[in-house]
Amino acid sequence: MQTYPQPISSKLPNVGTTIFTVMSRLAAEHNAINLSQGFPDFDCAPELRELFCKYINSGLNQYPPMAGIIGLREAIAEKMQSLYGAVYDPEHEITVTPGATYAIFTAVTAFVSPGDEVILFEPAYDSYAPAVEVNGGKPVYVQLRYPDYSIDWEAVKNAITPKTRMMIINTPNNPTASVFSAEDLRMLESVLRDTNIVVASDEVYEHLIYDGHQHQSVARYPGLAERSFVVNSFGKTYAVTGWKMGYALAPKNLMMEFRKVHQFNAFVSNSPVQYAFADYMKNKDAYLSLAAFYQKKRDFFLQGLNGSRFKPLPSRGTFFQNLAYDAISDERDTDLAVRLTKENGIASIPVSVFYREPPPHKVLRFCFAKSDETLARGAEILRKL
């Protein structure tokens, strides 16, 4: 095809290809162990695959309702009540979406107008700022404090202006593997009281939380739940990141605005998958057992790193382990991540890409949602560096 002949005024002039695509591609090219992009290298439960096939073969292959099939919305409502004591009306307050990224984008699009400010915590998951900017909004950043990535609540208060329309939070947090405490959520509730700020709370790692920490959903806190979208992904919970299914919960009047955008974008989410999840969610153990399963993987990986010059940072949640490499190299993390992939056969994610300006600390992120064999081979390579 010929090139488009006119100048293009990009709505996202500073956006390139995501780091996840870049590193996974490089890993494939060099046949490296891929601990970069966050996805399991093991398959999902066979029962879940069978349910998906069952519903495809039952002819449930046409448009489902715009907000999702009611059985799945009811299952989500029941789970939110039993885990967090929060009551959501499946009819009006829950929408099934094609993934969590889409749900966050939709919430931002529904509420952010040109000139509005949106508070993000830095480092920030890479989809948040572009979602704000493409809608004409302005990201305003609050730094998480290295090395424990704790929140400076004074800085949060100072970041709020009359233009602040939204705040996006993420706990358990990607890429830092930190988690918000109950005290953090109480502070957030108090800081936002008397404002009209809407919160998008990315909780895709709700079950991946370790060492006895409890997931602090905004849904637990009435002063936050009333102003929040809780966003979640089936991809993380059920090891099916390629199915791209998620959901959003919010009070009815917020959800009405969300659905106005959703119905003219995707309109609906994949139908047979929804029937499969509605059935499979009855098996509570499938998600309640995840914390123990992934904590074991984290510990196995860390054990393999014993004696290494990498310094593990705390991984309290998500399926990521961050390793500081001050003792190994002065290189920028972006250079080191590429070199380790090409020369040593192991791919990771350089954490600086989640900042506007590279921070002085030197950290690579490794995904431990992998088979023990992969983790053992990965750890062995890292131990020798």
CB of 291 to ligand PMP, least distance (A): 17
DSSP tag of 69: -
Smallest separation, CB 244 to ligand PMP (Å)? 6
Sole window of 55-63, 94-102, 284-292, 365-373 interacting with ligand PMP (rule: CB under 6 A): 94-102
CB neighbour list of residue 58: distance below 8 Å, 6 or more residues apart: 272, 275
Residues 6+ apart with CB under 8 A from 209: 172, 179, 215, 291, 316, 317
Residue 378 in tokens? 């990965």
Q: Distances from the Cα of 79 to the Cαs of 86, 88, 168, 266, in angstroms?
A: 9, 10, 23, 25
| Residue 236-255 contact track with ligand PMP, rule CB under 6 A, x = bound | -----x--x-x---------
- Among ligand PMP, ligand GLN, none, the one that 37 touches (CB under a kind-dependent 5 to 8 A) is ligand GLN
Residue 106 interacting entry, from ligand PMP, ligand GLN, none, C-beta within 5 to 8 Å by type: none
Residue 170 is a binding residue for ligand PMP (CB under 6 A): yes
Position among 37, 97, 135, 237 found at the interface with ligand GLN (CB under 6 A): 37
In sequence order, the β-bridge partners of residue 106 are none
- Judged by CB under 6 A, does residue 38 bind ligand PMP? yes
The option from ligand PMP, ligand GLN, none interacting with 100 (CB < 5 to 8 A, set by class) reads ligand PMP
Under 8 Å between Cβ of 160 and 194:
no
36 versus 135: smaller Cβ distance to ligand GLN: 36
CB of 116 to ligand PMP, least distance (A): 21
Q: Is 90 a binder of ligand GLN (CB under 6 A)? A: no
Span 191-210, contacts to ligand PMP by CB under 6 A: 202, 204
Alpha helices in 212-368 (DSSP H): 222-225, 234-237, 252-262, 271-280, 285-288, 290-304, 333-339
Give bridge partners of residue 34 from the DSSP assignment: 347
Q: How far is the CB of 101 from ligand PMP (least distance, A)?
A: 3
Alpha-carbon distances, residue 113 vs 36, 139, 169, 195, 362 (angstroms): 34, 12, 19, 17, 36
Q: Could you give the dihedral angle defined by the CA atoms of residues 10, 11, 16 and 20, in that order, rounded to the nearest 10 degrees?
A: -150
Q: Which of 11, 16, 28, 2 is closest to 342 using CA atoms?
A: 28
Nearest to 125 by CA among 76, 178, 161, 162: 178
CB-count exposure of residue 45 (10 Å: 0-12, 13-18, 19+):
middle
Please say which residue, 37 or 164, places its beta carbon nearer to ligand GLN: 37
Pick from ligand PMP, ligand GLN, none: which does 18 bind, CB < 5 to 8 A by kind?
Answer: ligand GLN
Rounded to whole angstroms, the Cα distance separating 75 from 228 reads: 20
Cα distances (Å, whole numbers) of residue 22 to 14, 16, 37, 347: 16, 10, 9, 10
Residue 347 tokens, joined: 């791919």
With CB under 6 A as the contact rule, the residue among 38, 90, 172, 304 that binds ligand GLN is 38
Binding to ligand PMP by residue 304, rule CB under 6 A? no
Binding mask 148-177 for ligand GLN (x = CB under 6 A): --------------------------x---
**Contact call for residue 233 and ligand PMP (CB under 6 A):** yes
Q: How many residues bind ligand GLN (CB under 6 A)?
A: 5
Question: In whole angstroms, what is the distance from residue 129 CA to residue 274 CA?
Answer: 29
Answer yes or no whether residue 18 interacts with ligand GLN by CB under 6 A: yes
Q: What is the CA radius of gyration of the chain?
A: 21
| Contact set for ligand PMP, span 96-155 (CB under 6 A) | 99-101, 125
When asked if residue 317 is in the footprint of ligand PMP (CB under 6 A), the reply is: no
Tell the smallest beta-carbon distance from residue 365 to ligand GLN (Å). 8
User: Which listed option, ligand GLN, ligand PMP, none, makes contact with residue 20 (CB within 5 to 8 Å by class)?
Assistant: ligand GLN
Query: At its nearest, how many Å lie between ligand GLN and the CB of residue 86?
Result: 25
Q: How far is the CB of 241 from ligand GLN (least distance, A)?
A: 7
Q: Could you list the residues that contact ligand GLN (CB under 6 A)?
A: 18, 20, 37-38, 174
Q: Could you list the residues that contact ligand PMP (CB under 6 A)?
A: 38, 99-101, 125, 170, 174, 202, 204, 233, 235, 241, 244, 246
